[in-house]
Amino acid sequence: MFIATLIAKDRLPGGVISAAEDALRRVDVEPMGRSWIEEDVACDLLFSASLGPVRLALEGIFPGVDVIVQGEAGRRKRLLVADMDSTMITIECIDELADYAGIKAEISAVTERAMQGELDFESALTERVKLLKGLDASVIDRCHDERVRITPGAIALVRTMKREGARCILVSGGFTVFADRVAAEIGFDRAISNRLEVAGGKLKGSLGLPIVGAEAKREALVAEAAMAGIELEATLAVGDGANDIPMLQSAGLGVAFHAKPAAAAAADARIEYGDLGTLLYAQGYARGEWEAA
């Protein structure tokens, strides 16, 4: 049995659910019932056909409504692996550091191309970090305090999953000086990220090796699952950029979050309207079951 979960950013009208059922019938899939997770917000539609046609039939057709299609069995995942920048937090940290150095426009343009998959991530990251050489390291704390904001729903997602026995890992192509603090604030078990090298209180314009890129993210997912004895089908990955694609494709459920087109196309599902709490509805948790911040 499979489920298509309709999750509204604001309110889910009954007419949308009926329209979704009609969309299923147009691809020769007969709905087998509906079940509210959260009244007027999130609803499951049950069916017993292949996933592909249902995704094509439902995703993106209802403004303000995200649709996540998956198997009903095992929907509550035992491992979460999440990207940080523009996923668990609302900014790209390297772009904000560049702003303090007066070169944000230059670096942001490269960041955008790397996240779109137009540039090799590791090479692009190395070149952007070189441009930060000489920046006072004290700016890192200032940037964290002034600009880092946790994405709505992130804390509830991680803390609810951990309460239910899941392991939660933050894997970032960003920097340890941010990722470690973000992981602790949200409640992750640990963080994996890149180390900015500092000497004499200044950024050296270099990174410690190895660099956490696309393949490292995928390897982290696979390794964490293996160490915990968790089948990949029981894993959930979420990210927004091209460097998240291998991780998203390896997870039992890979979700693109307000993502670049390449990541959205590669993922099993995408969140275009809601916040990270959408991933709790997708796992069948009503809001009253969410762990508070």
Domain of 286?
76-293
Using the 3D structure, point to which of 30, 45, 73 is the last residue of a domain.
73
- Joined tokens for residue 197: 């090298």
Sorted by sequence, the CB contacts under 8 Å of residue 98 that are 6+ apart come out as 104, 106, 107, 108, 128, 131, 132
Same domain flag for 164 and 255: yes
Per-residue pLDDT of the chain (293 residues; tens, 9 = 90+): 899 999 999 999 889 999 999 999 999 999 999 999 999 999 999 998 778 889 999 988 999 999 999 999 999 999 999 999 999 999 999 999 999 999 999 999 998 998 888 988 889 999 999 999 999 999 999 999 999 999 999 999 999 999 999 999 999 999 999 999 999 999 999 999 999 999 999 999 999 999 999 999 999 999 999 999 999 999 999 999 999 999 999 999 999 999 999 999 999 999 999 999 999 999 999 999 999 86
CA-to-CA separations, 45 to 34, 69, 122, in angstroms, rounded: 5, 9, 41
The amino acid that residue 216 corresponds to is A
Pairing of strands 79-82, 235-239: parallel
- pLDDT of 13 reads 86
CATH number at residue 112: 3.40.50.1000
- Joined tokens for residue 19: 């329209």
Same domain flag for 183 and 271: yes
What predicted TM-score, i.e. pTM, was given to this entire model? 0.95
Same domain flag for 5 and 102: no
Query: Rg of the chain's alpha carbons, rounded to an integer?
Result: 20
Judge whether 120 counts as a catalytic residue. no
Same domain flag for 111 and 69: no
Same domain flag for 173 and 105: yes
Judge whether 83 counts as a catalytic residue. yes
Same domain flag for 157 and 95: yes
Q: What is the pLDDT of residues 172-202, one digit of tens each?
A: 999 999 999 999 999 999 999 999 999 999 9
Sorted by sequence, the CB contacts under 8 Å of residue 221 that are 6+ apart come out as 79, 81, 169, 171, 232, 235, 237, 247, 250, 251
- pLDDT of 258 reads 98
CB 247 within 8 A of CB 254: yes
Same domain flag for 117 and 52: no
Sorted by sequence, the CB contacts under 8 Å of residue 39 that are 6+ apart come out as none
- pLDDT of 65 reads 97
- pLDDT of 51 reads 83
CATH number at residue 58: 3.30.70.260
Q: Domain total for the chain? A: 2
- pLDDT of 60 reads 87
The catalytic position among 44, 83, 244, 268 is 83
- pLDDT of 293 reads 67
- pLDDT of 38 reads 97
Same domain flag for 232 and 275: yes
Angle at 44 between CA 62 and CA 186, to 5 degrees: 85
The catalytic position among 85, 240, 244, 268 is 85
Same domain flag for 61 and 99: no
Same domain flag for 49 and 81: no
Same domain flag for 157 and 14: no
